[in-house]
Structure 1
Amino acid sequence: MQRLLNSTTAQYQAGAWIGLQRGWRWSQSGVEFNESESEWFVGQPDNRDNQEYCVRMKDGTWDDDTCTIRYNFICYDENKTFHIINSEKTWLEAQSYCREHHTDLISGVKQLKDFKRQHQDNNGQSQNNGQSQNNAGQSQNNAGQSQNNGQSKNNAGQSQNNGQSKNNAGQSQNNGQSQNNGQSQNNGQSQNNGQSQNNGQSQNNGQSNNNAGQSQNIAGPFWIGLFRDSWNWSDGSSFSFRSWEKNETNAKKTCAMTTSDGKWRADDCDETKPFFCYNDSVILIKENMTWVDALYYCRAHHHDLVSITNLDEQRWVQERAKMASTQHLWLGLRYTCTLDFWFWVTDETVCYTNWGPGQPGDDCTTAGAMNRQGTWVKKHDDHQLNFICFK
């Protein structure tokens, strides 16, 4: 940070970009937001009164809204199914509900397109597991010709029941197997409120009301999994250090820059300025390998498995560990039974350590790993984990 301050004051009096930005994120982990694919309504997002940080969808387009307003919402399951939840909740309540009962709030343009396609197909076909068609008062069910546990087929007032059938002046009362609300009346109409069920009642009076597979209203508004995040670093790290100018509160400017005195200020992202780059000396490999395979991979593609010799390196590596897809990840730390000590594969002496409680012990088949919180643990070397390489 001191090097950045020196560079700012000496060379870039007008300021320069740094990799800190406030922008939109999807709720589901791993789904990236791409502004070019967004479906904003005209004039949106507008962040009215600087309080609209969550996104709802209405008629297929998006607009930002206050997160505490209650709307119905759409959940996503990992098996690529979607659930319209007709229970109005705040955005955070909706997110918690979806994560508890499904996977997450619907996230990403691809999921939204799949959701629309799925429901358009349902609307076009109106598929019911017993679709009801009416031709001149005749009730036919494609799933089995109005099967009412007694196969009641009613054609122009005539009732044929394989079970119990009584015909009085064209009226058929079925109090047994073929229950049509206790009575099947055929006066040019067929009312099937019993076993010929389309998710409840199928009333056919010259029209078809289909409740099983009935097309749901997808116009909305619904909460979706898009929200405006607080400031975050472009490389995904979560360093909490901030150096804002006093009273820096401009919510409409979403990229950070340095100022002549080394402080930070928000500005419009489409402005052109000089910028700072940095070289990261470590890289997280999100592939699952044994410790030995990870060692060979790092040496073949980069430099070596990472070693940590001081607190600064620990902080840098543990930021990468937070983004791992496994609970632990390999370090270049190994135990030797012959000499009875831990060593780094890069030949550095193990001076700095960050072992967890009860660690490390002396097991001949163990290597050093780090959890996502940065604590070191010993693991049998045949576990398959992510790992971090030196570049």
Structure 2
Amino acid sequence: MNLTTTVMMILVFFLLCSGIFQFTFASNLRIFNHTSEDKNWTEAQHECNETGGSLVTLYDDEDATFMQKYMTKSSSWFVSSVWLGLTKTRTNVTTWSNGAPFIFNRSSVNINDGQQICEAMDKNTWKGFTCSGKHYFMCYKDNQYVLIEKKKDWCQAELYCRQHYSNLVSISDEEQNQKVIKEGKNKTFWIGLLHDEWEWVDKTCSTYRTWSDLSDSAGTEAKCTVHVQYLFPKPIKPHECFQGATTFCSTGDTRIRVINRTATWEEALDYCEENYISLLWIKDVNDQEAVKQWLEVSGYTGTFWIGLRQSIMFGFWIWKDSPVLESNWKDDKAPEMPFSNQCGVINATDNKWSDENCFNEHPFICAEKILKY
């Protein structure tokens, strides 16, 4: 160990002990695996549980496309049906996102099978919209109601409220209803009411519903679902839970979001913090494998900003405000001052990190927290 490395380690230890740096790595990046033997839904979910995961939840078209490509790349045979974690098991079809009892009702929503409807305030009246639509939303904390004039889908709005306030607003009486109307400024905005017969087995919030067919008798009776490759781009199909399908699992509670627009490192950081959590961090070898899997299966090439930055004062590399504990530098050596650039990129071809001038422009990768109830 050379003198420079020793000094850096001492400085990192001092800063961690002093509280200047805080560990923020309580989460893990989402990673996927599958087995070829067909199982029924219960057997498949049990197999996923044994590895600390769950049958996969799809959050958007990007997830569905990834699943399609993953099965094509990793299977030597054609896979027709792959189990999803979506099941028709909700005991309460209409629920407030904060768990409050549904005792006050101004809703006119009646859902049909397969629908997921979320409630919004529209022209001072409760109105149901498809949950994947994007609207303003209202958060609350203590007795304060705050209208957030940013357009997000219902799950994204709920996550934002939990991160910055307490939750999406719930309404338990007419007095609260009038207060929400007053604070809503005559806008259309989400409130915390969800109408849905289906739920993902890992208890996460997803507005993704691209049914292939719910009209046949099997579809209306089945309580489990599969991803069907040949039905893409509407791959979700009801499937009897006792029948067989391929097991597809995921672990981790943070999504990898590749942003295909160019920006400087600071601009990328601002974008990720505004729309997700932050620029991507990679805390260990499992995270490194998750990033490699996502980039490789999705077919990305080129270099992308990640959350790496070099301390100008001390010279060591950090994830914004936390130390780098496991690295994957090009040539297996971290760039050192005074010859290094101060921001980090990852190469999608070999997953190696390198330094870049922070004012260069690259596409970038964000980390998105998965909302779990």
The normalised TM-score by structure 1 is: 0.34
| Greater relative CO (CA pairs within 8 A, separation 6+) | 2
For the pair shown, which has the larger CA radius of gyration, 1 or 2?
1
Higher helix content, 1 or 2: 2
